[in-house]
Amino acid sequence: LLRELQASKDSREPAAPFRTVALIHMLLYYLYRSFPPMLNALPQPSFSDRAVQKDMVHFIYEHYQEKITLADISAAGKVSRSKCCSLLKIYMGSSPIDFVNDYRLEVSRSLLQYTDTSVADIAFNCGFTSQSYFTKLFSRTFHMTPTEFRNSTKKISI
């Protein structure tokens, strides 16, 4: 398949891109068959774990504009800090602080797109303590600065 992919890439035939996509799908199919996902790899959440997770996430959504610590999040779920970290890592796919920052970035992206509020004000209103840290995280996540993002969305809406 890899040799066929290479040949397809170099082909000048009009349908070559379709063949390339088909070969990639075949490659993915064979990889999937060779390495099936472990369906039971993640423990299934208990009712109490779901309730704790819901309380912690609700707390983050309600307080993202404020300074939030791991102790605050774990207190919202009435669990230890280590239990807080493990629950959010398992079921949300990130650490508590990364989850907070990801949510802040999503809110900030929406504000950049739909308001004319300054980047500095958006950063502080979303709970970031400095505009430079906000810009660093935003750039790392979305591969452009907040200003570049705002400018790109304005071009699209015109």
- List pLDDT tens digits, range 48-65: 898 999 999 999 999 999
Contact 146, 106 (CB under 8 A): no
Q: Which domain holds residue 105?
A: 101-157
First-last CA distance in the chain: 44
Is residue 26 in some structural domain? yes
pLDDT at 9 over 80: no
Is residue 89 in some structural domain? yes
Tell me, yes or no, whether 54 and 25 share the same domain: no
pLDDT at 41 over 80: no
Is residue 7 in some structural domain? yes
Q: How many domains does the chain have?
A: 3
Q: What is the arithmetic mean of pLDDT over 31-39?
A: 76
Tell me, yes or no, whether 123 and 143 share the same domain: yes
Contact 26, 1 (CB under 8 A): yes
Per-residue pLDDT band for 158 (boundaries 50, 70, 90) equals: very low
Length of the chain: 158
Q: For residue 121, which amino acid is it?
A: D
pLDDT at 156: 56
Q: pLDDT per residue over 76-96, tens digit each? A: 999 999 999 999 998 888 999
pLDDT at 43: 60
Is residue 41 in some structural domain? no
Is residue 40 in some structural domain? no
